[in-house]
A and B are shown apart, each in its own frame.
Chain A
Amino acid sequence: MTRSPPEWPDDIFRALRGMDIRQVAYVPDAGHARLLDLCGAEPTMTMVPLTTEEEGIAVLAGAWLGGRRGVLLMQSSGIGNCVNMLSLTRNCEFPLFILVTMRGQAGETNPWQVPMGRISGDVLGLAGVMVHGVDEPGRVGETVSAGGRTAFDGPAAVAVLIAQSVVGIKDFGDQAD
């Protein structure tokens, strides 16, 4: 059966363009694959691939010092890599806008994704990041738009956690259905 591609990544892209995002810092996740393609084809957006997610917090702080807005894309396991760097965000009250595709939730087939996935929201909250979860594909775009307004008008640190039920379950091909 052929399914049409999901539309929520396109909704995110429109929201990011609407808020004048110029730098897209990321460690890739399968859940962000289409969004990364869309942003990569947008001439006003500079794609900044990272070796680890914490780099993105520093890069986007620099972007803000220079008057530009950016977004940080990652999967939930990347949140643990960011913790000390979030002190930069907090001490200086930099705006920070993170879009996280969740792993380790219902249906996860890789147990190594579970520990960080379970504590993602709590870790971000402890580090001073506002967390907005979204678990309906049709509400992703509006949640991203609202989160971006809070981040850049605040300024505030905001993460949108896109549930695994929206992103889909990675299939390793070794499970009996």
Chain B
Amino acid sequence: MKIKDGFMLRQFGENYIVVAVGDDAEDFNKLITLNTVGAFIYNLMENDVTYEEIVSAVLDKYEADRKTVENDINKFLADGKKAGLIDG
């Protein structure tokens, strides 16, 4: 799984915001905002990664149990797919 080309994650003040770049950017008016965990997952997914790789990376980084982490990741993936952010 991977973030599609044409998106860029930036930090504005305290906020992580995904913006569209490139040829389709003109049609993209909606911004996607992420929390810190979301931004961490986004960065992982700039490379092609598996679900399991994301889970272990998040578990390494954050003090949380597997169930919580999986819930966060599932939500990120569901939202990301809905927003057209994710390939595969």
* Chains A and B bind each other: no
Chain B contacts to A: CB under 8 angstroms: none
Chain A contacts to B: CB under 8 angstroms: none
